[in-house]
A = this chain, B = another copy of it.
Amino acid sequence: MLNRVILIGRLTRDPELRYTPSGTAVTQFTLACDRPFTNQQGQREADFINIVTWRQLAETCANYLRKGRLTAVEGRIQVRNYDNNEGKKVYVTEVVADNVRFLESMGGNRNDGDGYNQNQSSSGYNRSDSNRGGSSNDDPFSDDGRPIDISDDDLPF
């Protein structure tokens, strides 16, 4: 009934832009978020959190984000599952972002401080079908490690 996530971290790699069969842009990246405490060895660990963005926001992220960039992400946690090639259910957790803020400039050449990068959906017609038994081509990130095709069924709002 309410599902809100706000993260600040750094990209572990350049973002990946892809398109669904129907032509919708999807960009995926991973944020490294340092934990607020150190472990038993006195070292600070990080959580590596998968982010997905759609449509215009996906294009903007692909254009402006790069590995290492400090970035703020607002969105919701999404948990999906599919049956892997051994017929076992694999669960995938990711943050579907609807607002991304570029906290570092792009190598001196431009300003990114102005202009919000928000999802502009004309809400209401939404659809998102996950959990379709047997179908395995339904997601950006796989906890399994395999690259997987994305489908129009994953379109959020």
This protein's copies in its complex: 4
What is the 8 Å Cβ interface bit string for chain A, positions 15-55, against chain B (1 contact, 0 not)? 00000000000000000011111111100110111000000
Kindly identify which residue among B37, B72, B88 contacts A157, using a CB–CB cutoff of 8 Å. B37
Query: Interface majority SS on A: helix, strand, loop or mixed?
Result: strand
User: What residues on B are CB-neighbors of A93 within 8 Å?
Assistant: 49, 79, 93, 143
A30–B124 Cα distance when bound, in Å, is 28
Closest CB in chain B relative to A101 CB, distance in Å: 5
Kindly identify which residue among B1, B5, B156 contacts A77, using a CB–CB cutoff of 8 Å. B5
Q: Is the CB of A47 within 8 A of B77?
A: yes
What is the 8 Å Cβ interface bit string for chain A, positions 123-146, against chain B (1 contact, 0 not)? 110111111000000000001110
